[in-house]
Structure 1
């Protein structure tokens, strides 16, 4: 999070953002009721359970509301900076 951001949608916002920290909790649900039967520790999931491999953070533009991976905002800022130099 130590890089400049630029919203890829509205292309004007460089300062107002919501940082969304993603924390996955692996669970096993009852197929009939939807109740949580088991909540696994991240290092001790069931053999048939794929662990979350998505981004640690998502970013929401504070102007237009777009939610994307953090790297999308960083890459747009880098690309825009290169084009203006």
Structure 2
């Protein structure tokens, strides 16, 4: 039993380029930007109804080197009481 678990449909991504372009491209594919960190990493949520299409478009952005970092969000499990 691990101490962390992945959070469904939530990811950290690093998008190359300026913030305006990154926000426009991410919102164009239906991805909700929850938070933008100073380091250029975005905490995003992908809606379940658009998941397959959004993942395919994000994969295309990774191939074009627009996205250089892609990691699922993990949260620490709380102990069962």
When normalised by structure 1's length, the TM-score is: 0.28
Higher Cα radius of gyration: 1
The structure with more strand, counted as a fraction of residues: 2
